[in-house]
């Protein structure tokens, strides 16, 4: 053979009694022969091993490396070419050049595909009187380690993103919105990263010890609604985990005395505590229809994810805000149910009262008491809501804090559409406004005319097309009692065939006092606050006609 490399290739397939090296092959021959003498050992290694020349060409490779290169001939090929031109991830981006140049070992990581990673270690072979011309390269499959690391990083990012909202967004979210946000994000990352489909998250009520369902996906209805408590006995695996703060791996549900069926047909499960500053705030449970579907590694990953889930739940303040917002929502539901009926009482009482003014003072006084009592109904509901959800239980960044000027302001909404009147109650009352409504211009005039000094309206919002006349005409009539009129006109999609808005602006309507239906909350708040600011700058003079 004309080269040592060619001889090595032949030696791999044939048996010889001796090897004679000519003078041209002596350079580096001793080092290469040491490699050959250990070939049997190298062939049995789980790692790949290769001998490279100064041009990174493979002069010899063990069977493991050949297998990783799809069992094709690789002697003579460039090392990177043999591996399919992998991406070099570092830390040394030229490990072979570095090892030859400095005469010391160098390491780097190669990415072959999205799921295959190798770590290479290049060591120079030095002769006694010359610079290194060859490298011994060991190649280790580190795919599992790299994928584990990536999974950990992805889980940590996912835990942060579960509650990736600004304080303002969090403050404006109702409890159901928060739960849906957590539910969708937990479900997404659990399925995408942990490859799990059946999950249940419960939150611990610290006072009662009850584990209340927060998220349940794939669980049986009776299981997700089952009352469980943080107690090691009689409350399944979930109760045991919450009571002991210890994770639990159930390898076979048929043999586990603690397990209570959650997912129909479940054969295995794992449950971990949600911990915040070492305190149990809930549990995270997953189940599988396969026995022994989970191992200790899976349990560790779920524990890591659960820590970030607990942190995100605390960031969202669900633990406190859920109770506060639930109370507020109950009050809002009651208020919403009585708002329009109370408005009807107010309208009818004012209408009747106008007929008796000047004729029967006693009837007028009784009707005024009815008006006061009807308005008191709303105030009582709001006060009850405040007692049910004290300020310390309301999450920081609450939206009402940024609109303090609306608190206690009286707004009259005039529109024939019940949905519009309902929306006005729902949107503005959450910011502390006192809303009353009227169906048409005649009712609105009566409401304004008969408003007591402490019940006068700060803002009047009217549709441009009322059943009896236009919003502009209403504004003109109200000018008999109010100067200026704190009017806002509403229109659907800019439709204004009678030019009410143009005429109203000529009569003093503020340039920004126009709303477009359906309401956009930010526009509604901005418009009402603009009118309130104008009123502060131009104090209202109200003429008495009573």
Q: What is the pLDDT of residues 508-537, one digit of tens each?
A: 899 999 988 877 888 899 999 999 998 888
CATH of the domain at 190: 3.30.450.40
The DSSP secondary-structure symbol of 333 reads H
pLDDT score at 392: 40
- Cross-strand partners of 435: 411
The model's pLDDT over 162-204, given as tens digits with 9 standing for 90+, comes to 656 555 555 565 556 666 666 677 777 776 766 777 889 898 9
Q: Are residues 223 and 177 in the same domain?
A: yes
DSSP state, residue 227? -
Same domain, 332 and 301: no
Number of domains comprising the chain: 3
Q: Are residues 360 and 278 in the same domain?
A: no
Closest CA to 191 of 316, 321, 305: 305
Decide which of 256, 281, 316 is a domain's last residue.
316
Work out the average pLDDT over 401-428.
87
State whether 290 and 376 are in the same domain: no
- Predicted confidence band at 239 (pLDDT cuts at 50, 70, 90)? very high
pTM comes to 0.42
According to the model, what pLDDT value does residue 370 have? 86
Task: For residues 367 and 479, state if they share a domain.
Answer: yes
Whole-angstrom Cα distance, residue 448 to residue 53? 97
Structure tokens that stand for 116 in this block: 């295959």
Instruction: For residues 447 and 494, state if they share a domain.
Output: yes
Average pLDDT of the segment spanning 244-271? 92
Q: How many Cα atoms sit within 13 Å of 74 on the Cβ side?
A: 27
Please provide the average confidence, as pLDDT, over all residues in the chain: 81
Q: What distances in angstroms separate CA 431 from CA 134, 172, 330, 421, 427, one per listed residue?
A: 78, 11, 16, 16, 8
Q: What is the pLDDT of residue 414?
A: 95
Q: How far apart are CA 459 and CA 344, in angstroms?
A: 19
Q: CA quadruple 350, 386, 162, 296: dihedral positive or negative?
A: negative
pLDDT tens for each residue of 373-410? 888 877 777 666 555 554 444 443 445 557 888 888 99
60 neighbors 82 (Cβ within 8 angstroms): no
Residues 25, 31, 33, 39: is their CA dihedral positive or negative? Answer: negative
End-of-domain residue from the set 298, 316, 334 = 316
> Is 378 found in the same domain as 275?
no
DSSP codes joined into one string, 52-119: E-TTSBEEEE-HHHHHHTTT---TTSBHHHHTTSPEEEEE-SSHHHHHHHHSS-EEEEEEEETTEEEE
Same domain, 201 and 348: no
Mark which of 141, 174, 192 sits at the end of a domain: 141
pLDDT of residue 235: 94
Cα gap 12→22, rounded to integer Å: 20
Nearest to 25 by CA among 52, 1, 56: 1
**Measured in Å, how far apart are the chain's first and last C-alpha atoms?**
123
Do 131 and 167 lie in a common domain?
no
pLDDT for 429: 83
Q: What does the pLDDT read at residue 326?
A: 56
pLDDT of the residue at 147:
74
Which of 181-190 are b and which e, b meaning 16 or more Cβ less than 10 Å from the residue's Cβ? bbbebbbebb
* 101, 209: one domain: no
Same domain, 103 and 168: no
Residue 27 has a pLDDT of 63
Q: Is the pLDDT of residue 358 over 80?
A: no
Can you tell me the distance from the alpha carbon of 369 to that of 492, in angstroms, rounded to the nearest whole number? Answer: 37
Angle separating helix axes 143-161 and 175-193, nearest 10 degrees: 170
What CATH number should be reported for the domain holding residue 514? 3.40.50.2300
CA nearest neighbour of 436 among 329, 533, 339: 339
Tokens 């639930």 appear where?
Answer: 326
Pairing of the two strands 514-517 and 482-483: unpaired
Rounded to whole angstroms, how far apart are CA atoms 247 and 271? Answer: 6
* Paired tokens of 432: 């502390």
Question: Is residue 8 classed as helix, strand or coil in its secondary structure?
Answer: helix
Residue pair 347/450 in contact by the 8 Å Cβ criterion: no
- Give residue-wise pLDDT tens across range 300-321: 888 888 887 887 776 655 544 5
Q: d(Cα 175, Cα 345) in Å, to the nearest integer?
A: 32
Same domain, 282 and 339: no
CB 464 within 8 A of CB 489: yes
Q: What is the pLDDT of residue 280?
A: 93
Q: Find the domain containing 478 and state its range.
A: 321-542
State the CATH number of the domain containing residue 37: 3.30.450.20
């Amino acid at each position: 053979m004309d080269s040592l490399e060619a001889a090595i290739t032949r030696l791999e397939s044939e048996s010889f009694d001796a090897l004679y090296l000519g003078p041209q092959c002596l350079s580096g021959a001793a080092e290469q022969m040491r490699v050959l003498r250990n070939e049997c050992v190298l062939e049995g290694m789980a790692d790949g091993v290769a001998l490279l020349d100064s041009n990174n060409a493979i002069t010899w490779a063990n069977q493991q490396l050949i297998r990783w290169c799809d069992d094709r001939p690789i002697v003579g090929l460039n090392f990177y070419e043999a591996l399919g031109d992998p991406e070099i991830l570092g830390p040394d981006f030229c490990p072979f050049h570095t090892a030859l140049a400095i005469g010391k070992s160098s390491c780097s990581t190669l990415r072959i595909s999205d799921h295959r990673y190798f770590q290479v270690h290049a060591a120079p072979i030095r002769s006694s009187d010359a610079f290194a011309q060859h490298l011994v390269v060991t190649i280790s499959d580190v795919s599992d380690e790299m994928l584990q690391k990536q999974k950990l990083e992805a889980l940590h990012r996912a835990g942060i993103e579960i509650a990736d909202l600004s304080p303002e967004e969090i403050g404006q979210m109702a409890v159901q919105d928060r739960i849906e946000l957590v539910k969708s994000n937990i479900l997404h990352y659990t399925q995408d990263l942990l490859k799990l489909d059946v999950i249940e998250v419960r939150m611990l009520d610290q006072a009662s010890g009850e584990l209340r369902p927060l998220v349940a996906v794939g669980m049986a209805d009776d299981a997700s609604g089952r009352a469980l408590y943080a107690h090691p006995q009689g409350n399944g695996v979930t109760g045991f985990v919450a009571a002991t703060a210890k994770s639990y791996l159930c390898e076979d549900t048929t043999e586990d005395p603690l397990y209570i069926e959650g997912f129909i047909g479940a054969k295995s499960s794992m449950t971990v505590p949600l911990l915040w500053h070492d305190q149990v705030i809930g549990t995270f449970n997953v189940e599988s229809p396969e026995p022994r579907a989970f191992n200790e590694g899976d349990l560790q990953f779920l524990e890591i994810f659960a820590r970030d889930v607990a942190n995100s739940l605390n960031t969202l303040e669900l633990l406190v805000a859920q109770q506060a917002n639930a109370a507020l929502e109950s009050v809002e539901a009651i208020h919403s149910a009585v708002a329009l009926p109370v408005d009807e009482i107010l309208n009818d009482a004012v209408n009747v009262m106008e007929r008796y003014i000047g004729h029967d003072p006693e009837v007028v006084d009784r009707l005024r008491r009815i008006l006061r009592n009807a308005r008191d109904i709303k105030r009582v509901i709001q006060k009850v809501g405040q007692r049910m959800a004290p300020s310390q239980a309301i999450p920081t960044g609450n939206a009402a804090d940024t609109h303090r000027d609306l608190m206690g302001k009286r707004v009259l909404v005039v529109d024939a559409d019940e949905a519009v009147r309902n929306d006005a109650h729902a949107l503005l009352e959450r910011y502390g406004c006192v809303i009353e409504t009227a169906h048409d211009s005649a009712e609105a005039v009566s409401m304004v005319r008969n408003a007591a000094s402490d019940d006068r309206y700060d803002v009047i919002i009217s549709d441009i097309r009322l059943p009896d006349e236009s919003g502009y005409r209403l504004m003109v009539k109200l000018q008999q009692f109010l100067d200026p009129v704190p009017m806002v006109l509403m229109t659907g999609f800019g439709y204004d065939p009678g030019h009410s808005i143009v005429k109203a602006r000529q009569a003093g309507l503020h340039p920004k006092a126009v709303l477009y239906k359906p309401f956009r909350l930010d526009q509604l708040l901005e418009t009402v606050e603009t009118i309130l600011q104008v009123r502060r700058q131009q104090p209202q003079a109200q003429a008495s006609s009573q």
